[in-house]
Each structure stands twice: as C-alpha cells, then as structure tokens.
Amino acid sequence: MKSFKDKVAVVTGGASGIGFAMAERFSAEGMYVVIADIESSALDTAVNRLRALGSRVMGVQTDVSDADSVGRLADATMEAFGRVDVLCNNAGVETGGTFLGIPPRAWEWVMDVNFFGVLNGCRTFLPLLEQRDEAHIVNTASVAAFASGTATMIPYCASKMAILGLTESLEVELRTAGSSVGISLLAPGPVKTNMPKAERNRPADVPAASEPGRLATLERLSRLAEEKGLEPSAVADMVMSAIRAEEFFILPHPELALAGVRKRLHWMETGEPPVIRQAGT
Ligand SMILES: NC(=O)c1ccc[n+]([C@@H]2O[C@H](COP(=O)([O-])OP(=O)(O)OC[C@H]3O[C@@H](n4cnc5c(N)ncnc54)[C@H](O)[C@@H]3O)[C@@H](O)[C@H]2O)c1
C-alpha cells in the first residue's frame, strides 16, 4: 500500500499493547481507526487517549471469537466510514499448563480467540478489502508460530502455528489471483504489553491456570518482556513499514524466529531432537 491518509484501519485487540500502538501509528498517518476489543473499559480509555491526540477513532466492543460479533464490527465500520483499507487481526490470549492439566475449555478459549478470531476477521473483511484498489491484512502470530516446545504453552503455540498456516496459504491464494489485498504475518518475541495478564479476559467457564509450573512460566515471561521486551510502538513502526513495502514476514525478533525454524530443520535433517528450554531462560 502506498497511500494512507483518510483511509480506514480496523485493529482488533486495539485497546492495549501492540494493537493500541498500531492504532496510534495508523492515526499518525492520517487514517481513520476503528479499535475493536472485548474489554469495554480499556476500549473507552484507548479511544479517549487517541481522541485527545486529535485522532479520528471509533471504538466497537467486539469478541473476535464470535463470527456474528465480527460481522457487527464490519457493519459498524462500513456505516461510519463506508470503506476498510487495513485490517489487523491482532487480538490474542494465552493460558496453559501441562498437557493433561489443560481443561478442554481452556483449549477452546485460546483457539477460538487466537485462531478463529483471525479466521473470522479474514472471512468477514476480505470482501470489503477487495473493493479497494489497494488494501492490506496483518495477522498477529508470534515467534511461537516457528518455535515449539516452551513448557506450559501448548495451546498458544498450536494456535499461533495455525495462524501461520492460514496466513501463508491465504497469501499464495491472493497473490495467485492477482488480488489488490496484500497480507503480512506479524511474529514478535517479547513485547512490553499486558499479555502476561491475558487471563483477565477469560470467560467465566474457563478455569484460571494454577499449576506451579505454569505460574513460573508466566513469571519468567513477564520478567523477560519487562527486561528485554520491545516497546509496542517499535513493533507498530515495523508493521507500518511492512505494509508500505508489501513484506509478508514482520519479524521484530528475527533471531528467535529463525532459531525456531533452524531447530526444526536440524531435527528433520539429522533426527536429533532439540534441547529442552524453559520460556525466558
Ligand atoms: N506481548 C508479547 O510479548 C507478544 C509476543 C508475541 C505475540 N504477541 C501477540 O500480540 C497480540 C497482541 O497482544 P499484546 O501483547 O498486545 O497483549 P495485550 O493483552 O496488551 O493486548 C491484547 C488485546 O486483545 C484483547 N482481546 C482479548 N480477547 C479478545 C477477544 N475475544 N476479542 C477482542 N479482543 C480481545 C484484549 O482485551 C487486549 O486489549 C496477541 O495476538 C499476542 O498473542 C504478543
């Protein structure tokens, strides 16, 4: 995409962290921004913060795991602005434990938000994006899309690998068809956000993760993000550049993503399994 002024961006999970930073970045380009988020108080705060900076922004409370809710987000966007040019399927959550310690509802929650949320966004908005001469989708995965084996994070890893498969395959279909819609995969490592507190949005029937190993993973991840994490605004700058340059992979931590891929390749080529590591060690 080459021009952004007066165009419309929709950002899911836009009330916090990376999503909020993307909303702020798009506003700075002169775009209209629709922030979609499940957390209504955080959504109001985010909208007010951006309005105070002079941004043209609208908030729509949305549950990305619910296709009807995403449909209402698209309707509200079209009613307000009559077009959509950029879609960031960014909302994500995380919970986990040892494999047999993870209840089925926890699996469903993570897959419903992380994977089906992205799928719902792509399915609902692609026909609207295709009405534009140029448009772009950014799907937020994680380095976990390339690097498996982090203790207590199996659902998150599986959901992010599913986003990778969806996004790579959709890219091929769109490019083969000569679509006006470009697509990118954002796969960050540690970023300073509220992700370690993702369970704040867990539905009432999803039990809180409580295994000691799980709590230790969360503690390590929080520390890692705090000490070595990127600022969300730095990630948003990379997203903006990638949309402009039509780059598929947005890798804020290329060394972590590439290490994950190399580890798998080595395993496949030699049969030697990788060394087990804990998150943040
Ligand atoms: N922070 C990191 O270190 C990191 C690393 C890799 C990938 N990511 C990914 O980045 C994305 C953004 O997360 P973040 O780190 O900014 O965390 P965050 O918790 O600060 O933001 C996530 C946002 O998603 C919203 N959300 C949760 N469930 C939702 C639902 N069902 N419908 C709509 N919105 C919902 C939350 O309310 C929140 O505003 C996620 O997909 C996450 O997996 C984060």
128's CB contacts (< 8 A; 6+ apart) are: 74, 77, 78, 83, 84
Which of 191, 192, 249, when mutated, tests ligand 1's pocket best, judged by the most ligand atoms within 8 Å of its CB? 191
Give me the pLDDT at residue 218, please: 93
Give me the pLDDT at residue 275, please: 81
Q: Taking a C-beta distance cutoff of 8 angstroms, is the pair 70, 62 a contact?
A: yes
Q: Which residues sit with their C-beta closer than 6 Å to ligand 1?
A: 12-13, 15-19, 37-39, 42, 62-65, 90-93, 113, 140, 142, 188, 190-191, 193-195, 198, 201, 225, 229
Give me the pLDDT at residue 280, please: 61
* Regions in the chain scoring below 70 on pLDDT: 277-281
Give me the pLDDT at residue 66, please: 98
Give me the pLDDT at residue 281, please: 53
- The residues that are catalytic are 156
Give me the pLDDT at residue 86, please: 99
Cα–ligand 1 centroid distance for 136 (angstroms): 20
Give me the pLDDT at residue 274, please: 87
Give me the pLDDT at residue 278, please: 66
- Domains of the chain and CATH, by start: 8-270 (3.40.50.720)
Give me the pLDDT at residue 279, please: 65
